[in-house]
């Protein structure tokens, strides 16, 4: 897995790796220990109880009665300003504008906390590809040759093989296909290891999954999903945020929330004129 720092995170090299190389990279030095401590404290405070929240790719955990060992915290933008800084970090914005288009949006920002003993996830691909186990529900010819997703994991606890660092199959992003047992994912996978403050950036069609946490500490991360401007986001973040947040949002945050893209629109009520034109 290729590793970069905030100083040498060249967008062209990283995009080449996401599309044609292993499908994932790590970047260190984006977030201070203070940022990580603040984010982690908020995540812990909002995930101490065992009330069920929406989670994903946890069929085996549910069958084993261990679903409570993976805890999600949603709507993070409303829970601390640190998450806005993470989502709109200039280094990430520069890479993603070149990868997903200059007006890309954010589809979700949440925390994933896997407690000691948590069994991890099933190998999968991410939204909007995540139900490609039903290929008949997608357009004919649909493929991964151009990206409609980028995933960022901001690591809050040490990601090691023992703690369940995300596993991924290098090169699997080159074909859009859901992993099956015949692919022997666990025999070929590598790990997205890192320390608190590191970022794993990967193309969401790369087969991946959280692995079992066999350590004595939590394995937590902030998961941020980015999409082209015209892909329907997974979370309706503007609806979950107070109007005061929307009113005070920076230009980058307004872009990430999809507020600059007007569609779908009631065109019968739209301002008259040439809605879309070259001049």
Give residue 271's pLDDT band: very low, low, confident or very high (50, 70, 90): confident
Range of the domain at 175: 2-269
Q: Measure the CA–CA gap between 278 and 262, rounded to whole angstroms.
A: 17
In a domain, 278, yes or no: no
Smallest Cα–Cα separation from 156: which of 118, 194, 126, 202? 194
In a domain, 277, yes or no: no
In a domain, 162, yes or no: yes
Exposure of 165 by Cβ count < 10 A (0-12 exposed, 13-18 middle, 19+ buried)? buried
Tokens of 108: 């979700």
In a domain, 77, yes or no: yes
In a domain, 32, yes or no: yes
Q: Which helix (H) or strand (E) holds 91?
A: helix 90-100
Which pLDDT tens digit goes with each residue over 22-80? 999 999 999 999 999 999 999 999 998 765 554 666 556 666 666 778 889 999 999 99
* pLDDT at residue 268, as a whole number: 85
Determine what percent of the chain is predicted with pLDDT higher than 70: 91
In a domain, 33, yes or no: yes
**Helix, coil or strand: residue 123:** coil
In a domain, 128, yes or no: yes
- Check: CB of residue 245 under 8 Å from CB of residue 126: no
- Check: CB of residue 188 under 8 Å from CB of residue 209: no
For residue 274, pLDDT over 70 is answered with no
Task: Quote the pTM value.
Answer: 0.92
DSSP conformation class of 179: -
- Check: CB of residue 213 under 8 Å from CB of residue 112: no
* pLDDT at residue 26, as a whole number: 98
Residue 245 maps to which CATH number? 2.60.120.620
What's the structural domain count of the chain? 1
- Check: CB of residue 230 under 8 Å from CB of residue 188: no
Which pLDDT tens digit goes with each residue over 21-30? 999 999 999 9
Question: What's the mean pLDDT when you consider all of the chain?
Answer: 92
Distance of CA 265 to the CA centre of its chain: 27
Could you tell me how many residues make up the chain? Answer: 279
Number of continuous H segments (helices) and E segments (strands) in the chain: 9, 10
* pLDDT at residue 62, as a whole number: 60
In a domain, 186, yes or no: yes
């Amino acid at each position: 897995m290729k590793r970069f720092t905030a100083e040498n995170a060249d967008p062209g090299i990283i995009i080449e790796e996401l599309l044609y190389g292993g499908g994932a990279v790590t970047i260190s030095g984006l977030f201070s220990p203070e940022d990580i401590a603040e984010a982690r404290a908020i995540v812990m405070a909002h995930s101490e109880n065992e009330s069920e929240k929406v989670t994903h790719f946890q069929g085996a955990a549910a069958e084993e009665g261990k679903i409570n060992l993976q805890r999600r915290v949603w709507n993070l933008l409303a829970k601390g300003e640190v998450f806005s800084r993470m989502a709109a970090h200039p280094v990430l914005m520069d890479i993603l504008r070149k990868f997903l288009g200059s007006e890309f949006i954010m589809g979700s920002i949440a925390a994933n906390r896997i407690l000691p003993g948590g069994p991890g996830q099933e190998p999968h691909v991410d939204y909007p590809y995540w139900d490609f186990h039903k290929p008949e529900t997608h357009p004919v010819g649909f493929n991964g040759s151009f990206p409609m997703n980028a995933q960022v994991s901001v690591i809050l606890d040490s990601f090691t093989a023992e703690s369940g660092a995300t596993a991924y199959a290098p090169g699997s992003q080159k074909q859009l296909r859901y992993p099956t047992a015949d692919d022997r994912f666990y025999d070929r996978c590598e790990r997205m290891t890192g320390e608190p403050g590191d970022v794993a950036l990967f193309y969401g069609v790369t087969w991946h999954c959280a692995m079992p946490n066999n350590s004595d500490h939590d394995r937590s991360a902030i998961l941020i999903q980015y999409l082209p401007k015209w892909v329907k986001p997974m979370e309706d973040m503007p609806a979950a945020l107070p109007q005061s947040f929307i009113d005070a949002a920076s230009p980058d945050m307004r872009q990430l929330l999809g507020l600059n893209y007007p569609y779908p629109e009631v065109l019968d009520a739209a301002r008259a004129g040439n809605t879309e034109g070259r001049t």
